[in-house]
Structure 1
Amino acid sequence: MMVEEKWVDHTLESSSILVHPNEIPSFAEAIFLKDPIYYDVEAAKAHGYSHIPLPATMPVTFWKKFDIPWLDGLGGVIHAKQSFEYKTTLVADREYQATLSLDKVETKESSLVMMEFLHHTLSIYHLNVLQCKVYTTLIVKGGESP
């Protein structure tokens, strides 16, 4: 196993996250979102939001708030899949807390190489109420198969 067993079922400390409204337009532009709600607070409010909403995939950027010890020293990591489960839309200028868990590690072996599939859950809260969960699977390439 490339990732140490001690990290499986481990949850990292909560991290406080505040997304500034000026961070959202560049992310929205990078993923080709044109809707004015991502660029203008008045447009967002006209659509019923309290502030500029975060694009649905923006919580992936919350990973940078964590020091992830089980990824230290690993070679190439491939982002395999991701899904989002929202209770409510996340918005700018609201303080969130997040936890990141390594839920499971699966080892798969082909005739050429061994790989580990790391299954994670990023849980996002506001005032201790769950707002969103992001499920992410990363693939780590190991050594050659025997």
Structure 2
Amino acid sequence: MTVDPSVIGTEFPPTDLTVDAGRLRFFAKAIGETNPVYTDVAAAKAAGYSNLPVPPTFLFSIELDSPDPFSWLSDLGVDLRYVLHGEQAFTYHSIAYPGETLTATSTITDVYSKKGGALDFIVKDTAVTRADGSAVADLKSVLVVRNPGVGK
């Protein structure tokens, strides 16, 4: 099933996450980050941070905290067996720290096909803000949906 371009502009309910220092340490370890500013408060403060800074790609995980983070794809009729993560980009505006509540708000900004419809691309832009509305980062992800049987 191909993705209908009429879903462009679809906005999703925001996802909130209160940043936890333990979670940041775990994330840094999971991605192989060895810089102690992401795991040791003293090292972070020595480097000029007020606390452990949120590692650069951590913000991608905010939406994964929702009960069913991929339900939006199912709602579009996308079979998750045929989805690939194609691209991720980050534009940072400020550093986030433990104790802050961040909100991720996403919108589908583009849908297009390639290879005669065999591949659909869904572009989702996400704004991450603090409780006061100040910008932390803008994320862009591109998912690739393979449409078996199309274009053969």
- Corresponding residue for residue 20 of structure 1: 20
8 Å CA contact retained: 1:4, 1:70: no
Q: Is the Cα contact below 8 Å between 1:3 and 1:71 reproduced in 2?
A: no
Q: Give the corresponding residue for 1:58.
A: 58
- The Cα of 1:69 is off from its aligned counterpart by 4.3
Mean CA deviation greater in 130-139 or 2-11: 2-11
How far the C-alpha of 1:10 sits from its partner, in A, is 1.1
In structure 1, distance between residues paired with 2:71 and 2:25: 31
Between the aligned partners of 1:4 and 1:17, the Cα distance in structure 2 is: 31
Residues 7 and 70, structure 1, Cα contact 8 Å, conserved in 2: no
* Letter paired with 1:71: L
The separation in 2 between residues aligned to 1:38 and 1:93, in whole angstroms, is 15
Query: How much does 1:57 deviate?
Result: 0.8
Query: In structure 2, what is the Cα distance between the partners aligned to 1:65 and 1:21?
Result: 16
Q: How far has the Cα of 1:36 moved from its partner?
A: 1.1
| 2:140 pairs with 1:135 | yes
User: Contact 1:51 / 1:93 at 8 angstroms: preserved in 2?
Assistant: no
Is the Cα contact below 8 Å between 1:117 and 1:137 reproduced in 2? yes
User: Which residue identity is paired with 2:127?
Assistant: S
Q: Which runs of 5+ in 1 are unaligned?
A: none
Per the alignment, in what secondary structure is the counterpart of residue 104 of structure 1?
Answer: strand
- Aligned-partner SS, 2:113: strand
When normalised by structure 1's length, the TM-score is 0.87
Deviation at 1:8, TM superposition (A): 1.6
In 2, Cα distance between equivalents of 1:25 and 1:57: 13
- In 1, the alpha carbon distance for the partners of 2:72 and 2:2 equals 9
1:108 to 109, 114, 125: 114
Deviation at 1:131, TM superposition (A): 1.3
Q: Tell me which moved more, 30-39 or 5-14.
A: 5-14
Deviation at 1:68, TM superposition (A): 4.7
Match of 2:43?
A: 43
Report if the CA contact (8 A) 2:110-2:123 is conserved.
yes
Question: How many aligned positions are there?
Answer: 144
Alpha-carbon deviation of 1:55?
1.1
Q: Deviations over 1:25-77 (max 9, x none)?
A: 22112222111111112221222222211111111111213445441152321
Normalization by structure 2: what TM-score? 0.84
| Preserved contact between residue 88 and residue 132 of structure 1 (Cα < 8 Å) | yes
